[in-house]
Every structure is written in structure tokens, then in C-alpha cells.
Amino acid sequence: MKTIFRLVLMSCFFTMTINSNAQVKNRKAIKKDFLGCNTPDPIGSFALDTSSPTRGMADNNFLWDNGKTINVKILSGSKSLKDKVKKYASEWMKYANIKFNFIEQGDAQIRVYLGDKKGDYGHVTMGLGIKCLMRDPNDFTMHFDTTDLITEKSLKRTVLHEFGHALGLIHEHMSPVSGIQWDSTAVYARKRLMGWSKEMTDAQLFRRYNISYTNGTAYDPKSIMHYPISPWETKNHYYVDWNDDLSEGDKALIAALYPKNERVNKVPRIIITNVGETIIENNSLKKGISIYPSFSINCADKPADIYYVCMLVDENNYFIPTQSNNYNINNKAGCIKVVKLPINQTEILNKGKKNFEIFIPASELPNTISGKKLKVYFRAFLMQDGELKELLGSLSNNSVMLNKF
Ligand SMILES: [Zn+2]
């Protein structure tokens, strides 16, 4: 992913704090590091299924249906390279109750682009597990920089790693029970030379998932989802070499997440598809602005609490400061709508007809934006166990000239 923005979310019942200090317009492109992949981890998420004591981490909210056949299309590359990607990705099928069905024609949920450094995407899975379904069907959902994969080993480990993300696995070196004693000063300095900001380094290396989600699972330094660590990166010179194969922990984890029988540990699994433009309009009748996000959403396994968050931005894409008590997100103008999603029922929002509105009264907006152009930054979050996970985030292209008030 070329641009990754990582937002720290904290919430308690009706108070939501969203890290919006970085203006929307100032989100920076993040360069790839040869040491890792660019797949963003979800916020505060973890494997909940802990039937085995020694295995890694996944985000259960974004697992595919157990037993699912996933169509995979490789969009570019030579036949021999495609065959290798298929061969290595298929390793996961030996242990998971999942099938990758490689197709040449037709619709595929996973679309792989074998690139040659152009575009600076590096190795990346666009959306963990089922989050890839939110991508535009014309875009790839996984990208490899094949110029960086010149050995068989590097190709194999990278394909295994990215397809691990595609099945919902997250980075093992971010386990809260890893005990890794990072030499943060040295790592920040080195990463800065490679174009990583402090935030990027925190997000890719130092972030720790909530311990409460580990439920006793052990750290697995042999995991294919672990980055290599050099001795200089840690205070005690601990290091992890490249892992080239699935570890025993990886095999146990994926078999537990996609078991031969019914999945034991069920959590809400949300699929958002068919994402369209969020429309923002004056509403003269109700005296305010109406916002209409457009997408389809489905919930499986357990009902879910979904937070829809609208933050207003000006024509230069800056958030708008506000003093409002009720339409205020971290002192920025906006509002939050909370809905309960039942299971196995697809809700289709604002497709063809307006059936879901988020309204902000003009009386709650700061006078400074009266008569000015406005856009909306719309986001959707899943709330689970006191934590928010971002499902969707998009800044509208559409804008409205706000009525004077
Ligand atoms: Zn990764």
C-alpha cells in the first residue's frame, strides 16, 4: 500500500478520541523497507482461538468463511513465475480448510500483481483476510516486487508471508509476549535513513497487540509472519534470521483458524463490499448537512457494533475545529453513528436510493465554515471488547458549498 495512515483509537462508551492531529492532507507516502512487507496490521487485534499453546497471531474478525474456496488470479508475470507463486501459496492449503482456486478468467477475490519495482509498492497485501474484498475489483489486492525476489528462497518466503496475511495472519514480531528488547534509538536512526518515519517504525516493529487477546499463546520466532531481526536492533543482541518455511506454529495456527470441523472460536466477521462515493449535501428542510455513505455490509458469526464516523474537512482537506458538545470528535467537527448489525443480513446503503443518512445540524457547526466548501472523511469501525478496528476509511471527492447560516 503506497499510503498507510495509522490512527490510534481509544474509546470509552460515548467518548471517542481519534488521532487526527495529522491533517488529512498531510498523510505521507511511506516507503517500503527491504526487510519487511507493507501490509498494515489492524488495530489492537489478535487471535482469540488458543487451543494450541505455541502459535502466532491472526485477526479473527477478518477470517474467511471456514472451508471457503477463494478465487485467485495472477495478473502479470511469466508462466514459470506464476506457477511458483501458485505452488508456494498452496502450501497453506495443506493445513487450512481453505482452497485457493487459481483462475485465468473471471472474478477473483485475491488479485496478485507481480511487479518490477515501478509504483514503489514493494510486497504488500491490500487488506488483511476478507478486507481485500473492499478493494476496487479493477485493482490488485496483493503486490510483489519481483526484482527483490531473485532467489527461490526469497520468493517462497515472501509468497508464504503475503498469503498468510491474505488468510488473516498478522506480524509475529509484534506479539506482546515476544520479549524482544528493541534498541529503539538505533532502530529509529537506521530506519530514518531508509525513509521510515518514527510512526512507521512504531507501526511496523514496536507496536504491541493487546495482551488480553493472546490468551496464553506463545511467541513463535520461527513464524513465516516474523520479520528478520539483526543483533544491532536489540539491546541483548537477540536476532531472528529469515524464516523461509511455515513453522510448526504457523501450521497449528492456520489449522485452528480454518479447522476441518466447525470453527470453535467465533467473533463478528464483517465484509464491506461495493464501496461507492460518500455524498454530502445541504439539507434545507432539516437545516443542516446530510451525509450518505455508500457500500454493502454483511456480518457473520456474531452480531457486531459498528461505528460510522464522519469528519468534516474544508476544501483544502483540513479538519475543522469545533466547540460543539455533540458533534465533536477530538475537537474536530463531525459525528458518530452507532449501529448494531445482525448476522447473515446484507445491508445495502445508499445504492440507487437514499436509505441511510448521517445528519449534522447547521446549529452545531462552527460559524467559520458558513458558506464554505465542505467534504467528508468517512470511516467505519468495528467495536469489539472495548477496541475499535477500522473497516473502511475514505475521503470523499464530492464536496458541498454549505448554505449560509
Ligand atoms: Zn507482512
Shared domain for 210 and 151, answered yes or no, is: yes
Helix (H) or strand (E) holding 101: strand 99-102
Alpha helices in 8-147 (DSSP H): 79-89
Q: What is the distance in A from the centroid of ligand 1 to the CA of 38?
A: 6
Q: What is the distance in A from the centroid of ligand 1 to the CA of 337?
A: 32
Residue 1 domain flag:
no
- Evaluate if residue 9 carries a pLDDT over 70: no
Q: What is the distance in A from the centroid of ligand 1 to the CA of 165?
A: 7
Residue 107 domain flag:
yes
Residue 262 domain flag:
no
Residue 236: domain span: 31-257
Residue 10 domain flag:
no
Of 225, 218, 126, 127, nearest in space to 173 by CA: 225
- For cell 448494531, the residue is 340
pLDDT (average), residues 199-217: 69
Dihedral sign from CA coordinates of 261, 262, 266, 272: positive
Helix (H) or strand (E) holding 292: strand 288-292
Q: What is the distance in A from the centroid of ligand 1 to the CA of 45?
A: 15
Contact in structure between 223 and 250 (CB atoms under 8 Å): yes
Q: Give the neighbor-by-neighbor strand order of the sheet with 347-349.
A: 269-273, 295-300, 347-349
pLDDT at residue 205, rounded to an integer: 83
Shared domain for 195 and 324, answered yes or no, is: no
Q: Annotate 190-218 with DSSP letters as a single string.
A: HHHHTT--HHHHIIIII----GGGTTTPP
* Higher per-residue pLDDT: 56 or 345: 345
91 torsion bin: left (phi>0), alpha (psi -120 to 50), beta (else): alpha
pLDDT digits over 145-183, tens only?
888 888 999 999 999 999 999 999 988 888 888 889 999
- For cell 492532507, the residue is 25
Tell me which residues have their CB within 5 A of the ion that is ligand 1.
37, 39
**CATH classification of the domain holding 342:** 2.60.40
Q: What is the distance in A from the centroid of ligand 1 to the CA of 180?
A: 18
Q: What is the distance in A from the centroid of ligand 1 to the CA of 216?
A: 23
Shared domain for 328 and 235, answered yes or no, is: no
pLDDT at residue 50, rounded to an integer: 29
**CATH classification of the domain holding 146:** 3.40.390.10
pLDDT band at 235 (very low <50, low <70, confident <90, very high): very high
Q: For Cα atoms 140, 1, 132, give the angle at the middle one, nearest 5 degrees.
A: 50
Shared domain for 168 and 246, answered yes or no, is: yes
Q: Considering only 84-93, 258-267, 326-335, 383-392, which range has the smallest mean pLDDT? A: 383-392
Q: What is the distance in A from the centroid of ligand 1 to the CA of 381?
A: 22
Shared domain for 68 and 160, answered yes or no, is: yes
Q: What is the distance in A from the centroid of ligand 1 to the CA of 1?
A: 11
Q: What is the distance in A from the centroid of ligand 1 to the CA of 217?
A: 20
How deeply is 395 buried, as exposed, middle or buried, from its count of CB atoms within 10 A (0-12, 13-18, 19+)? middle
pLDDT at residue 211, rounded to an integer: 55
Residue 15 domain flag:
no
Q: For Cα atoms 181, 5, 8, give the angle at the middle one, nearest 5 degrees.
A: 60
Q: What is the distance in A from the centroid of ligand 1 to the CA of 64?
A: 18
Q: What is the distance in A from the centroid of ligand 1 to the CA of 41?
A: 8
Q: What is the distance in A from the centroid of ligand 1 to the CA of 195?
A: 18
- For cell 455508500, the residue is 294
Residue 7 domain flag:
no
Q: What is the distance in A from the centroid of ligand 1 to the CA of 57?
A: 12
Number of domains in the chain: 2
**For the chain, what is the mean pLDDT?**
83
Q: What is the distance in A from the centroid of ligand 1 to the CA of 132?
A: 14
Q: What is the distance in A from the centroid of ligand 1 to the CA of 354?
A: 39
- For cell 506479539, the residue is 175
Q: Which amino acid is at 182?
A: W
- For cell 531472528, the residue is 240
Q: What is the distance in A from the centroid of ligand 1 to the CA of 23?
A: 27
- Evaluate if residue 242 carries a pLDDT over 60: yes
pLDDT at residue 122, rounded to an integer: 81
pLDDT (average), residues 207-231: 77
How deeply is 259 buried, as exposed, middle or buried, from its count of CB atoms within 10 A (0-12, 13-18, 19+)? middle
Maximum Cα–Cα distance across the chain: 66
Among residues 257, 287, 320, the one where a domain terminates is 257
